[in-house]
Amino acid sequence: MHVVMLLYPNLTQLDLTGPYEVFGRFPELTLDLVWKTRAPVADCRGLTILPTHDFADCPQADILFVPGGPGQLALMEDEEVLGFLRRQAAGARYVTSVCTGSLVLAAAGLLKGRRATCHWLSLDQLALLGAVPVAERVVVDGAVVTGAGVTSGIDFALALTAHIFGEARARHAQLFMEYDPAPPFPGGSPASSDPALVAQIRAETASFQTRRAETARRVAATLDQAAAGAGA
């Protein structure tokens, strides 16, 4: 099975590399890192990752995967990327994402009416694009499987591999990775954090979140126009 994992400038690498670590432990899965070209791609912290394929020579995905990150904003209006995702999704067995990667899938029109999750700061923006936001770590809606923010990528990949290969093998991978989270302090979600800290982070990201929401509204209008044209 081919796992086509989208690379793009300014992504959050853990959204990608967390699931990659899990998927790489299943020999039935071939992992393809794909971008427009094969030039190195830098994440939002400067880590460089090398694609294995470009869009032109990418094999058909059995599992299509999109990570999130600040660079997601540009992808939502990049027709070359959105067209690639639509073509791949048409033949994929599973369409998946972590963090704000779900906003990219939604911008491609792939989450209409689907239950999905996202990073907590952007969860409500899924509704602007026709998806049904769900505040859970991993959300499964048929062939669509989405993970919440950043670190949930490991949970997402373990849940998906358990579905495909059985829980016993996913448990084997989990133990081999020593995935037994024990954060040094509580508060890894808005529900478990000090409200003052949640408010601080919302304030720190308000400008960027406004841009995200504005982009989502523009994309939603474009999708509505396309739907209206198709129904005419």
Q: Kindly list the catalytic residues.
A: 99
Contacts of 96 (CB under 8 A, 6+ apart): 63, 64, 65, 66, 144, 145, 146, 147, 156, 160
Burial 36-62 (b: 16+ CB within 10 A, else e): beeeebebeeeeebebbbebeebeebb
For 147-157, give one letter per residue: b (16+ CB within 10 A) or e.
Answer: bbbbbbbbbbb
CA angle 11, 57, 163 (to 5 degrees): 60
Instruction: Give me the half-sphere count of Cα atoms (radius 13 Å) on the Cβ side of residue 152.
Output: 24
